[in-house]
Amino acid sequence: MGQAEIGGLEPKASTGLPPRQQDAERGRQGGKAAGVFALKPVSSMLEDSDLGDGHGSHLQRTLGLRNLVGFGVGSAVGVSLFVQTGPEAALHAGPAVALSFVLASFACLLAALCYAEFASLVPVAGSAYSYAYATMGEGVAWLIGWCLLLEYLMSGSLVAIGWSGYATQTLHAFGVDLPDAITGAPLAMVGGHVVRSGKWFDLPAVLITLSTAYLIMRGTRLSARVNDFVVSLKVVAILAVIVGAAPFIHFHNWQPFVPPNTGVSGSFGVSGVMRAAGILFFAYVGFDSISTLGQETRNPQRTIPLALMISLAVCVLLYVGVALVMTGIADYRTLNVADPIAEAMRQQGHSLDWARWCVSVVAIFGLVSVLLVTLLGQVRIFYAMGRDGLLPPAFARIHPRYCTPYVGSIVTGVGAALFAGLFPLDLLGDLVSIGTLLAFAVVSAGVLVLRRTMPDAPRAFRTPFMPFTPIAAVLACLALMYSLSGDTWVRLVFWLLLGGLIYGLYGYRHSKLRAPVEE
């Protein structure tokens, strides 16, 4: 790191203590003096990653570039493609939903370039949370960690709800009908308000969430192997559907490509394209999950930035291709259904029966990979925050056999299952998008702070076109956030206030930056 230590620019002074305790002592003193602005030295983060949970167990570096690209594509190609594309076309953007994906991907690209610089500098578990802790202080780190909790936990629930819809429809096609009371949430969104739906809970969503959490607890390497296999099948099948359905495109379905605004903001027109882009940004939450795995990745300074770029390129091509084909073979106004791609195929009669079945099967298995990566990212965020004392230390406890944070896996699985079983998809989708956008905006702004406060820190990757890239990333994220509904903003403010209360009552008091150092 040179003479200056990241997270504390002064050279290390000898105190007679071992190096790790010297770092802990400086961090403790800085924590008491700076309060919520206290920085955690990167050397302490790196040594913590090697020492593990204090009980002889630690996360193992078993992941390579192929695994990370698989996690990125696996998490991104999911609910937004199989479920949300149709409703966003029908209600907000029309055929221009493809353009909405491009706008969302552009904002994600800018943020990914900023993430890549952080990942090359602080290659530990925790992603944006850990980056902020080393560069912008504990208070900002908590804010990002709390937003990531909103992003991962609720997006996992959203994926499980989408999986439940496709699984229920597929079982129905085979003559198996589950009781209606256990195939949906007891709450629903009607006219922007939450009302009772008459159902009890979404049993399929609960079961798939708990099963996936168990798989994650069994080990990252096993999860990676399952994910790689599922993602390979998913990408091949989606490409086959795009190529096979392309001859059935009717160009009149794309006219007008951007339907005129209905007089209501966000209902078609430019505002509708932006509203859809803001909601569909949920598709790209997987790129943050790549960086949460820094502590389990071989050569993370090089591997993580490369995996971010490759994953984004693959996902943009798949999303735009499916959106164009879907709105080209069917009237976009008919796509506000739980399985829009399959519905578009059904409208072609028996000609695309093979493609419809392919999509249904791929959605069932493919959404499992999305759920797996999403829950995995949440578990690693819990691990980092528990390690730092901002959450109970049980979240950082590593299983002696599986070498995974098993307590965090259990809590994440149960929490996501409860949200999936009880809350409607519309409510969760908007919350996930706005939480993700806020986290991306803060990380992008952090690169500007990083370049000013630590200009000489070694970086394996540097965000290009400074300072324009991070500024553009922040503006793009804020623009997409602005396009979301007022109710979504109210829920975000409530969520942040709740997070601030928990930090004040627990995190601030138990932070290891303010804890005594054991001699």
- Judge residue 435's burial from the number of C-beta atoms within 10 Å of its C-beta, 0-12 exposed, 13-18 middle, 19 or more buried: buried
Lowest mean pLDDT: which of 171-175, 187-191, 288-292?
Answer: 187-191
Note whether 161 and 205 are within 8 A (CB): yes
d(CA 53, CA 405): 9
Task: Give backbone dihedrals phi and psi of 367, rounded to 5 degrees, phi first.
Answer: -70, -25
Q: Rounded CA gap, 394 and 202, in Å?
A: 29
In degrees, rounded to 5, the angle at the alpha carbon of residue 12 between the alpha carbons of residues 10 and 13 is: 110
User: Taking a C-beta distance cutoff of 8 angstroms, is the pair 503, 495 a contact?
Assistant: no
Give residue-wise pLDDT tens across range 37-66: 888 776 676 666 555 444 444 566 778 888
Q: Dihedral sign, CA of 31, 292, 52, 412?
A: positive
Percent of residues, the chain, with pLDDT higher than 90: 18
pLDDT of 330 above 90: yes
**Helix or strand holding residue 264 (H, E):** none
pLDDT of 47 reads 66
Whether the predicted pLDDT of 8 surpasses 60: no
**Helix ranges, 122-178 (H):** 128-135, 138-173
d(CA 190, CA 193): 5
What is the separation, in whole angstroms, between the first and last Cα of the chain? 26
pLDDT, one tens digit per residue, over 232-255 is 888 888 888 898 899 999 999 999
What letter would DSSP give residue 462? -
CA 486 to each of CA 5, 226, 317, 370, 494: distance values in angstroms, whole numbers, following the listed order: 43, 40, 32, 28, 13
Q: Which CATH number applies to 32-514?
A: 1.20.1740.10
Average pLDDT over residues 209-228: 83
Mean of the per-residue pLDDT values of the chain: 80
For the cut 80, the answer to whether the pLDDT of residue 176 exceeds it is yes
pLDDT at 1 over 50: no
pTM assigned to the model: 0.74
Beta-bridge partner residues of 188: 195
pLDDT, residue 30, reads 52
List, for residues 279-329, the tens digit of each pLDDT value: 887 677 666 677 767 677 788 778 888 888 898 889 889 999 999 999 999
Reply yes or no on whether the pLDDT at 28 is more than 80: no
SS3 455: coil
Mean pLDDT, residues 32-37: 66
The stretch 387-401 carries a mean pLDDT of 88
The C-alpha atoms of residue 66 and residue 60 are separated, in whole angstroms, by 17
pLDDT tens per residue across span 363-390: 787 788 888 888 888 888 888 899 889 9
Length of the chain: 519
